[in-house]
Chains A and B, each alone.
Chain A
Amino acid sequence: MHVGILYSRIRRDEKLLLNELRDRGHEVEKIDVRKQQFGLDRMTTDVSELDLVIDRCLATSRSLYATEFLDSYGVTVINNPRTADICADKAKNSLALAEAGVPTPNTKVAFTTDAALEAIEEFGYPCVLKPVVGSWGRLMAKIDSRNAAEAILEHKATLGHYEHKVFYVQEFVDKPGRDIRVLATDGEPVAAMTRSSEHWLTNAAKGGKTAAFELDETALDLVETASDAVGDGLLGIDLMEVGGAGSGEYTVHEVNHTVEFKALNDSTDVDVPARVVDWLETKAAESDAAEAPIA
């Protein structure tokens, strides 16, 4: 297949993917998103002959627009812009999960500091304030008191960008020092790991220690439903155990659409890039079949 990789930074994840694609003899077109102009009918790089484009943009804003444009050109893009739109925004993510009946932390969104403070007080302490767009655990606040809430809200209100005035308040889930990251393709798990830390933030990007995790039937069902709720694709689904480690009871806090997988590749005995490319080959074949003229 002829694959485009849309990127601005080649992380180890992209390198693993590039190597696997090239080792299998696939033709790869690296597309630096920073060098592109996206017109209404074409972009700087000719993508018309590509079987699919994988969005690996590091910047969410670029990912959202670039996938919209690619989709409008009739190019199969992984992940599609509808999925990206939901996953890039924590509020939309929460709504999609709740609408699909997936257990997800109780959440409220408010647009003023006064309304946000009311929401925080209703949740009680501790609770969590998150940016609606953001990743790697940045700007996440665990709020332990009204004094802290007032200070954090005042700071957020002066940060400047309008997104910081969308206050996303969430119940604090007392997880057992770890959460679970599942990489899935169209709802089918590729690999899963725990991310553990003594800090309340357990993100691998924050130094959380990773270890392979075996998904039980409940988790498998949740992964499938959560994936479907956001429109499927190549996704990172994050779960927390409620009621202690190994309780078999989960809440899904978010689904990520430009998922990193190097830590999963290191922590499990699954050849993650190989499994991802297996899936990409299937998607490219489906895309070809859909475009083939009916005899």
Chain B
Amino acid sequence: MSEAECVECGAELSLHDDLEAGEIIDCGTCGAELEVIDTAPPVLDRAPELEEDWGE
């Protein structure tokens, strides 16, 4: 398990092992949605806001 810092609140996040670039994780401290930009080492950024044409 690796760790990364929340870009919103600075809290330390424990990341699961099978992390994928493009995956969204929630910060347990501030609730921000974070996108995994890279996995080795883990890089997080704020996830994009919901767009009107998202869906299935």
With a cutoff of 8 Å between Cβ atoms, the chain B residues found around residue A11 in the complex are 24
In the assembled complex, the Cα of A256 lies from the Cα of B54 at a distance in Å of 12
Tell yes or no: A94 within 8 A of B by CB: no
Cβ A30 vs Cβ B21 within 8 A? yes
Is B53 interfacial (CB 8 A cutoff)?
A: yes
CA A101 – CA B48 in complex, angstroms? 41
Classify chain B's interface size.
10 to 19
Which residues in B have their C-beta under 8 angstroms from that of A37? Answer: none
The segment out of A129-137, A143-151, A172-180 that lies at the interface is A129-137
Alpha-carbon gap, A134 to B54, bound state (A): 7
Interface on chain B toward A: helix, strand, loop, or mixed SS? loop
Contact B53 A8 (CB under 8 A): no
Interface string of B20-35 (1 = CB under 8 A from A): 1111100000000001
| Contact indicator B53/A61 (Cβ below 8 Å) | yes
In the assembled complex, B51 has its CB within 8 A of some CB on chain A: yes
Give the chain A neighbours of B53 by CB distance below 8 A.
59-61, 133-134
In the complex, the answer to whether A10 meets B56 with C-beta atoms within 8 Å is no
Contact B52 A8 (CB under 8 A): no
Q: Which 5 A-B pairs have the closest CB atoms?
A: A135-B55, A10-B22, A60-B53, A10-B23, A256-B56
Q: Give 12 pairs: A residue, B residue, CB < 8 Å, sorted on A.
A: A8-B48, A15-B18, A15-B20, A30-B20, A32-B21, A59-B51, A60-B53, A60-B55, A133-B53, A136-B54, A258-B56, A259-B56
- Residues on B facing A (Cβ under 8 Å): 18, 20-24, 35-36, 47-48, 51-56
In the complex, besides A15-B18, A58-B54, A60-B55, 9 extra interface pairs with C-beta distance below 8 angstroms are A8-B48, A15-B23, A30-B21, A30-B22, A32-B22, A58-B55, A59-B54, A133-B52, A134-B52
